Structure 1
Amino acid sequence: MQVLISILISLIAVEHLFFFWMESIAWESFGRKVFGGSKEFFKTTKSLAANQGLYNGFVATGLIWSFFLENELSISVRLFFLGFIVVAGIFGAYTVSKKIFWFQAFPAFIAFILILSFS
């Protein structure tokens, strides 16, 4: 089960690195393709998206960091960052799109439950 948890944590970290890249670096190009909207909207919201992307980068970094820590500390760090993801995903689903729950909150919630159950 620990291998499955590690794979899931890795996938969630990669997903948030992707969010970081899209929101902080490729907002006006790739971000626009993903979300749709006017060129002007993406130009004017670029700094907001970059800020949001930075938080996703921090979350990914925290999850990656957890692989280099001792077992008990690793578990605490993973739960800490996964908790952020779950809350942000639920908030995003409520305020923006229900899809955010399935892409962001749900995988983190599953990982959170698996860690609590098998660690």
Structure 2
Amino acid sequence: MLLARILIGAVLLIHVYIFLLETVLFRTRGRKVFGLNDAQVEAMAPAMSNQGCYNGFLAAALAVALLHGEPAVANAFAVFGLLCVAVAGIWGALTVQKRILYVQTVPAVLALAALYAGI
């Protein structure tokens, strides 16, 4: 289960970073990462902040998965969080940018596979 925990931790960290980019860092670092001009940043800031909250919730579910003392509860949070990340990544790849599939979905699916394989 060590590999699964490492991969869950990696997905958690990715989503903490995305949360920060879309909320508190959107007008600075987020602007650069997403390649936006000043007008785009101002127009998109409220929606990105809302989207960032959802990424924060995904990170919270994965944190519970790693920290909860009851294995069944931890496993349920891991599966829920990773499936949500995988689906969100697929949707993002279809509607925003194909790269999202590799940044979000692939790590989540790898973590799910490791979790179910018990490694």
On whether the aligned pair clears a TM of 0.5, the verdict is yes
In the aligned structure 2, how far is the partner of 1:83 from the partner of 1:94?
17
Deviation, structure 1 residue 11:
1.1
Q: Tell me the distance in 2 between the aligned counterparts of 1:117 and 1:8.
A: 13
With the length of structure 1 as denominator, give the TM-score of the two structures: 0.94
The list of structure 1 runs, each at least 4 consecutive aligned residues, that deviate by more than 6 angstroms after superposition, is none
Segments of structure 2 that go 5 or more residues without pairing to the other structure are none
Asked whether the equivalents of residues 9 and 66 of structure 2 are also in contact (C-alpha less than 8 Å), the reply is no
Give the aligned partner of residue 95 of structure 2: 95
Question: Higher relative contact order at CA 8 Å, sep ≥6: structure 1 or structure 2?
Answer: 2
CA–CA distance in structure 2, aligned partners of residues 67 and 89 of structure 1: 21
In the other structure, the counterpart of 1:115 is: 115
- Separation in 2, partners of 1:68, 1:109: 20
Kindly, what percent of the aligned residue pairs are identical? Answer: 33
User: 1:33-44 to 2 correspondence within 5 Å?
Assistant: 33-44=32-43
Report the residue type matching 2:24 in the other structure: I
Where in structure 1 are there 5+ consecutive unaligned residues? none
User: Superposition pairs for residues 63-78 of structure 1, below 5 Å?
Assistant: 63-69=62-68, 70-78=70-78
**8 Å CA contact 2:61, 2:78 repeated in 1:** yes
How big is the shift at 1:38?
1.5
TM-superposed CA distance for 1:114, in Å, is 1.5
* TM-score between both structures, scaled by the size of structure 2: 0.94
Corresponding residue of 1:6: 5
RMSD of aligned C-alpha atoms? 1.1
TM-fit CA distance, 1:42: 0.6
What's the secondary structure of 1:25's corresponding residue?
A: coil
